[in-house]
Amino acid sequence: MSARTKARKRALDMLYSADMRQVPVEQMLVVEAEKAANEPERAASWLYAREIVDGIVDHRDEIDELIETHSRGWTIERMPAVDRALLRIGVWEIVYNDQVPDPVAIAEAVEAATVLSTDDSAGFVNGLLAAVSHAKS
């Protein structure tokens, strides 16, 4: 597993945990920063995970608006929490991170949805992120 894939998983864990606990994402960043400081082997994935989460925090309204615009009748609140977090990561990478090609961001999110979410989630995540990528072009 690449460092970026691990970082996406860490970002997903932070976003999901904050959502489930109904606490600010920044609180989860503090917890993860402490873990990273005490576990040097996690340092490679920590920096990109932090970049993802900080980017989502900075652009949350725009990201959520894009998700709702392309979700075809689903409000963000109705989506499973895992899907919501994966979509936020995917949209951030597509719109705000030029270092990650759109197909890579989409494939990573779809793979995670396949493993971690419902039977229908991978297709939903794929379609929504592809629409965001297409609209960006």
Let me know the angle formed at the C-alpha of 43 by 39 and 46, rounded to the nearest 5 degrees: 110
User: Mean pLDDT for each 10-residue chunk of the chain (137 residues)?
Assistant: 89 95 91 82 84 96 96 89 97 97 97 95 96 91
Backbone angles phi, psi at 23, to 5 degrees: -125, 160
Structural domains of the chain, ranges and CATH numbers in brackets: 3-136 (1.10.940.10)
Query: pTM to 2 decimals?
Result: 0.94
Tell me the pLDDT tens digit for each residue of 102-111: 999 999 999 9
Do the Cβ atoms of 8 and 52 come closer than 8 Å?
Answer: yes
**Nearest of 87, 18, 21 to residue 32 by alpha carbon:** 18
